[in-house]
Structure 1
């Protein structure tokens, strides 16, 4: 396979733990920042000599890291791998101030993803968020003043007690801020999160479908096109880094709990901070069979507006998709759009992607 052109960097520290979050994380107060930074950059030596088109710092909360340590990581990544075409960092709105934005700009960051989640104050409190709607708007303004215009905001819908008016207020705020990229994710009740322990009840599927259609219609009217199931962007502002995942391309990763995919091998880093600091970075590593790679490829690529290329599929898996999946394609003829070169899910069927994948793919083969 080709060498990875994207690098994910995990910064696990958070000032507090949100009740819905299942990502690898630790409280900032544990005091591991300096030792973690050293271990993180030491793990990165495995990718010595590689140049990355995209680098993405996620978490956790990267913006919660001590500014001097964040500066060290960013500068060292650029020194080792060059300045990427897309250099993203996730930030909490309350962390964004002139000093931080100046540091990020000076270190080459050209894309910032803000975890807004909602613009309703009571909802933000329920989600354990520490920012206000005013903080989010201020963060956007500061980024733009610094010349960082490639901005994205994350939102969650399908929350307990959410009404259609709440969702429309979020969408009106997106319009007012004139954002070039937004993500809207339905609330997922992940095991071991506080929401799951509390047995929070999500809305019905019919309600979620109505919310999703409302989101898509509103964002399209703003010039934001849905290029992936949960992501909308103006032309040229699509996330190049995340698109690497969805296309099934190889990607590198460093950091506590992070996963990489290189040469057909999926490697997951440990969630033991003691092991990570001791240099025992990898928790599990296994080579995927070609059948598993094919499964993942279809599952991820069909999330995309553009689907996948028939030529690319044949080059990767040495088979003709239309012949190999002929019976299933026939059963899904109302859901798939197929032309001479590409396969994609019809726009009005993307919301039922999960059921389409169940009918297309052989999940039993993964047991």
Structure 2
């Protein structure tokens, strides 16, 4: 439903002009805004999905330095790409990034599609990213809709339909196109996203300095805090991870790559036992490696962190404990597939989850 205060008619024909004027005076100087190169724009948009600019900028600069064009990204080893992505989360984005780079390089001779509809066909590119690349790189008059845009539109027009509902998607898309300056789609889209990021913020927006406060339904009706509306998330899932660090007499450890359809796919970790609740040593001894290495359950398990690590993901909370097992044997004498035998320090060369990285930053494994 759209709520309009009696007597107020949003002047959408002047909205974009005022928005662009504000943007030209207040915009941040960001490298992907100073180019029409679709590769750089695409890369920035993939990195910035659900990532703040201050966090994403160093990653963007690191990727551009390592892979100046799509061909070099395509030719990179996947493990290298995953390692460079480490810390951003949502690792499927990194895998899709690499897949699409290879497709563009090998099948399209390094040339990106130049229309919204064709960009949508690429793996890892949804409606928002396709609209961003199409408008920023090719000036196609397509409207972007990200969290910042939803917030500006919801408050300005007084839309209380949930932004993550089917009805809401239609309403917000219609409004986004209603105010779009088709002659200047690139700067318009940049401007409305920047407005939501810097001024029409989720909390404590600067309404008194807003160019649209006299026409903003949410401001006029004191509904700033209640808009936009979002449907409640699914019930969160709790998972309990127990990582086992097997250390050989030669200072080696065992790691493996997550290959199943689950979180952190393609990232590396220590051998894992997942339990229904915080575990005691007994279920840990059920891990296959104790049998493979012929280790008796009389061996001493050492818990390396007194407190359980908690790691929050979009729809689940991970509670993790780390256990150490000192093995008076050399791993090279055993068939340990699918586990890799690595020096304890060399795990830093592998892409790992933020959770594993946090543990490694707090604990020095013995050589």
Question: Which TM-score band applies after superposition, normalised by the shorter structure?
Answer: under 0.3
TM-score by length of 1: 0.27
Q: Which one has the bigger strand percentage?
A: 1
How does the TM-score come out when normalised to structure 2? 0.27
